[in-house]
Amino acid sequence: MSTPAALPTRKRYNMLVLLFISVVVNYMDRANLGVASTALRQDLGFSMVQMGLIFSAFGWTYSFLQVPGGIMVDVFRTRILYSVIMFLWSVVTVVQGFANSMLTLVGCRLAIGVFEAPSFPCNNKIVTSWFPDRERATAISIYTSGQYLGLAALSYALVAIEQNFGWRGLFYITGSLGIVWAAVVWVLYRNPAEHPTVNAAELDYIRAGGGLPDGTTKAGAGKFSWRDLGEAFKHRKLWGVYIGQYCLGSLFWFFLAWFPTYLKESRGLTGLSSGFYGSLPYLGAFVGVLLSGFTSDWLLKRGHSMSFARKTPVLCGMALMTIIVAANFTTSTPLIITFMTIAFFGNGLASIAWVFISSLAPVRLIGLVGGVFNCIGNLSGATFPLLIGWLAKDGNFTPALFVIGGVSALGFCSYFFLVGEVTRLEESTP
């Protein structure tokens, strides 16, 4: 009589919870400056353009270090890399609370960009290692939703902290929380093949479904060549995703950096009311990103092609993002928040773009391609906060919203015309 095969364990979902909270912490330490900006600007005497420069500083280092960050993800052990960089960016977040000059704040934001640069290539490597293809879009949507749910749930809390403890206290508290969570990541995270309670059945399930529980790299890992970097730039499909991610960031960075200021100074909302109204678009984006992942995987399981299943939510989301322009044509707060929520819902719907890296990139170069993807995508973080600050230097955000709507339409075209069929790319023969 044969022994029944053991059922697969489900430890991958424990890792997904760990990843979700890590993303919440990541974006808490990015968004706290937006919440603190009005009080900080008034306290230190900064102009809108100067504040835009401070906002954009994070994006300079974060975007340009994505390629080195992706290489680090391919070379270093995930557990060590992730916990160390989280600890370091959280320490710098605390240091921001001591700042008394624009130079200090710019330096801190540059440093946070340096230490956060490998974080999303790490996230993608974790999901590619722990989840089979048919579950990956859902997994990506769940951890990506952390940036939206975290900001929605924390928006009111961050405003309350800022009101009770001042803008300096906001940095002290959020940075300290990040330090604690870095220790949790160190204690709890393991790669699939090294996890003490994962059974062979779960590893086989992940492996059979296209996941890479033994690691995302093959022989030759740890070595870098310029040919590898060239490989990340030579494919039209990848350029379609790169450009689309840059366009996606235009609207995202408006919300991350300038939306609290827009509500307070352009629409006249103050105090906790700005925190309440400000949380609604984030909730919309949270629903959008979860719907995107579940819908994409559902379409795939129903027999639709990988291309249709992955691209449909992204294209619909990019189209909805253009609705942000409608906020220019009304003075009604409920309507403005409605248009903003629809637009950010679209942003969430289009935010599973990391699934294209998992599905398109050559297996040996997933970390590197993920770094290039996040580099180009996050150039929006280096350019749009500064551009919006310049366009709204007199307090009028109308031109900025028109620009964001136009760039969102460009992102739709990039996915529609450049990405084509979603199939894994093979490395070119040297």
Which tokens sit at 231?
């490989």
Given pLDDT bands bounded at 50, 70 and 90, which one contains residue 2?
very low
What DSSP string describes 37-91? HHHHHHHHT--HHHHHHHHHHHHHHHHHTHHHHHHHHHHS-HHHHHHHHHHHHHH
How many other β-carbons are positioned within 10 Å of the β-carbon of residue 27?
Answer: 20
How many angstroms separate the CA atoms of 181 and 177, rounded? 6
Handedness of CA 87, 90, 92, 98 (dihedral sign): negative
Question: What DSSP string describes 208-231?
Answer: HTT--TT-S--TTTT---HHHHHH
Q: What pLDDT digit, counting tens, does each position of 139-149 carry?
A: 887 887 777 77
Task: Give the range among 124-133, 211-220, 404-413 with minimum mean pLDDT.
Answer: 211-220
Check residue 218 and give its pLDDT.
43
CATH superfamily of the 12-215+225-419 domain: MFS general substrate transporter like domains (1.20.1250.20)
**pLDDT at 145 (0 to 100):** 77
Nearest to 366 by CA among 79, 82, 134, 70: 70
Q: What is the pLDDT of residues 365-414, one digit of tens each?
A: 777 787 788 788 888 888 888 898 889 888 789 999 999 999 999 999 99
- Give the rounded percent of residues in the chain with a pLDDT score beyond 90: 28
User: Is residue 221 scored above 50 in pLDDT?
Assistant: no
**Close Cβ partners of 187 (under 8 Å, ≥ 6 residues apart):** none
Looking at residues 335-350, what average pLDDT do you find?
Answer: 92
| Placement of tokens 């059979």 in the chain | 208
Mean pLDDT of all residues in the chain? 84
Rounded to whole angstroms, the Cα distance separating 225 from 64 reads: 18
Q: Which of 153-157, 363-367, 426-430 has the least mean pLDDT? A: 426-430
Q: How confident is the model at residue 270 (pLDDT cuts 50, 70, 90)?
A: low
- For residue 26, which of 99, 104, 123, 98 has the smallest C-alpha distance? 123
289-322: per-residue pLDDT in tens?
Answer: 878 878 888 888 888 888 888 889 999 999 999 9
- Tell me the per-residue pLDDT of 92-121, one tens digit each, with 9 for 90 and over: 999 999 999 999 999 999 999 999 988 888
pLDDT bracket for residue 220 (50, 70, 90): very low
User: pLDDT tens across 276-286, in order?
Assistant: 676 788 888 88
Contact between 147 and 255 under an 8 Å Cβ cutoff? The reply is: no
What DSSP designation does 417 have?
I
Identify the three-state secondary structure at position 352.
Answer: coil
Buried-state track 173-207, b at ≥16 Cβ within 10 A, e below 16: bbbebbbebbeebeeebebbeebeebeeebbebbe
* Mean pLDDT of the region 259-265: 81
Element (H, E) at 163: helix 133-188
pLDDT of residue 272: 54
Q: How far apart are CA 18 and CA 129, in angstroms?
A: 15
> Is 93 in contact with 32 (CB distance < 8 Å)?
yes
Structure tokens at 67: 């390629």
**The pLDDT of residue 1 is above 70:** no
